[in-house]
């Protein structure tokens, strides 16, 4: 198994484990990720997903050698038929998952690996990590949501630098641009990610999910639609035990103890 996972305390930890391939994802690995995320979306015991990897690199993208290992010429429109159920599906799930996602990034996050980090709600990177979109440099076009994610995070000018020129971006620069949540020295990376995961695991899970959904929809909707979504979100959040606990904690001047319910 190239994708390992374990859960406890409301946290699902998903670890890419192909260090000999710089954690590049072959089709089986992508399918495993899809199944894990689809299952996580339906698991009421979970409150946060932590995406990480074994070894020196986060993910070097798609393993194109493994994808074409049988030596047969792909059928016409093979990528058009396959991508919606593989790498594209992973990105859709990360963005739409009703749980916050934290990615811990060290080494290379290239191609699909870069998009995995960008689709997470919070990516914490080693300041020396490398974010790279090598598509055009290899003679093909971007996939896995790169052309959608990058302009929204860093603007068109910087997106062009990464996608059309193939410029590599360090973790420190990625944080400065707003590409990732934070960049820290390598020695602090795991502890900083652990602290953030714990903070999200203690948050009001339903309110976090509804806010995440509203943020995603707002990029495609006018203000009027966003206001309607906020109204429905507030109505749902106000019916939760965490909402009542938040009000009680405010009244009693104490920290809330949210249960995710």
Same domain membership, residue 89 and residue 23: yes
Distance separating alpha carbons of residues 186 and 164, to the nearest angstrom: 29
Mean pLDDT of 57-75: 70
Tell me how crowded residue 136 is: count the other CB atoms within 10 A of its CB. Answer: 14
Whichever domain contains 240, its CATH number is: 1.10.12
Question: What region, left, alpha or beta, does residue 14 occupy, with left being phi > 0 and alpha being psi -120 to 50 degrees?
Answer: beta
Q: What is the mean pLDDT of residues 109-116?
A: 97
pLDDT of residue 69 exceeding 60, the answer is: no
Domain that holds residue 232: 205-251
Q: Sorting pLDDT into bands at 50, 70 and 90, what band is 221?
A: confident
Q: pLDDT of 157-212, one tens digit each?
A: 999 999 999 999 999 999 999 999 999 999 999 999 999 999 999 999 999 999 99
Residue 135 CB neighbours (<10 A): 21
Q: What is the pTM of this model?
A: 0.92
Residues 172 and 154 in one domain: yes
Query: Quick one: pLDDT band at residue 142, thresholds 50, 70, 90?
Result: very high
* 187 lies in the same domain as 237: no
Beta-carbon contacts of residue 111 (< 8 Å; ≥ 6 apart):
60, 61, 62, 132, 133, 134, 135, 143, 144, 146
Burial 26-49 (b: 16+ CB within 10 A, else e): beebbbbbbebbeebeeeeebbbb
Q: Phi and psi (nearest 5°) for 169?
A: -120, 125
Indicate whether 73 pLDDT > 90.
no
Q: Is 213 within the bounds of a domain?
A: yes
Say if residue 77's pLDDT is above 60.
Answer: no
Mean pLDDT of 111-135: 97
In a domain, 258, yes or no: no
Kindly state whether residues 14 and 133 are assigned to the same domain. yes
The candidate with the shortest Cα–Cα distance to 240, out of 199, 204, 202, 200, is 204
Contact 240, 207 (CB under 8 A): yes
What sign has the CA pseudo-torsion 91, 93, 97, 99?
A: negative
If you ran DSSP here, which 8-state letter would residue 24 be given? P
- Regarding whether 177 and 127 lie in a shared domain, the answer is yes
Helix (H, G, I), strand (E, B) or coil at 164: coil
Q: Clarify whether residues 30 and 123 are in a common domain.
A: yes
| Residue whose structure tokens are 């998009």 | 115
Check residue 83 and give its pLDDT. 63
Please give the helix or strand (H or E) that residue 16 lies within, else none: strand 11-16
172 and 211 in a single domain? The answer is no
Measured distance CA(41)–CA(213) in Å, rounded: 13
Regarding whether 232 and 196 lie in a shared domain, the answer is no
Which tens digits make up the pLDDT trace of 225-259? 999 999 999 999 999 999 999 999 999 999 999 99
CATH number at residue 164: 3.90.226.10
Report how many domains make up the chain. 2
User: How confident is the prediction for the chain on average, in pLDDT?
Assistant: 92
**CA distances from residue 256 to 47, 48, 186, 217, 249 in whole angstroms, order as listed:** 16, 18, 32, 29, 5
Q: Binning pLDDT at 50, 70 and 90, where does residue 78 land?
A: low
Same structural domain, 150 and 47? yes
Same domain, 55 and 140: yes
| Domain-embedded: residue 259 | no
Q: Are 17 and 6 in contact (CB under 8 A)?
A: no
| Residue 70 pLDDT exceeds 60 | no
pLDDT-derived band at 220 (thresholds 50, 70, 90) equals confident
Whether residue 58 lies inside any domain: the answer is yes
**8-state DSSP, 73:** P
């Amino acid at each position: 198994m190239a994708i390992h996972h374990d859960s406890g305390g409301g946290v699902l930890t998903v670890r890419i484990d192909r260090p000999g391939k710089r954690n590049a994802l072959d089709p089986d690995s992508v399918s495993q990720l899809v199944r894990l995320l689809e299952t996580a979306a339906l698991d009421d015991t979970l409150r946060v997903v932590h995406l990480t990897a074994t070894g020196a690199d986060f993910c070097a993208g798609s393993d194109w050698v493994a994808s074409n290992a049988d030596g047969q010429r792909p059928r016409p429109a093979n990528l058009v038929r396959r991508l919606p159920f593989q790498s594209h599906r992973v990105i859709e799930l990360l963005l739409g998952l009703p749980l916050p996602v934290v990615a811990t990034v060290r080494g290379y996050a290239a191609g699909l690996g870069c998009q995995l980090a960008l689709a997470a709600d919070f990516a914490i990177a080693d300041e020396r990590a490398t974010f790279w979109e090598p598509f055009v440099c290899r003679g093909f076009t971007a996939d896995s949501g790169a052309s959608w994610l990058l302009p929204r995070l860093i603007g068109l000018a910087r997106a062009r630098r990464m996608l059309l020129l193939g410029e590599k971006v360090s973790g420190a620069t990625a944080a400065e641009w707003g590409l990732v949540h934070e960049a820290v020295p390598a020695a602090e990376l795991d502890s900083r990610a652990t602290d953030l995961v714990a903070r999200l695991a203690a948050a009001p899970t339903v309110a976090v999910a509804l806010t995440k959904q509203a943020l995603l929809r707002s990029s495609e909707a006018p203000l009027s639609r966003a206001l309607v979504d906020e109204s429905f979100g507030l109505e749902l959040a106000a019916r939760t035990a965490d909402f009542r606990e938040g009000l009680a904690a405010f009244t009693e001047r104490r920290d809330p103890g949210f249960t995710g319910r």
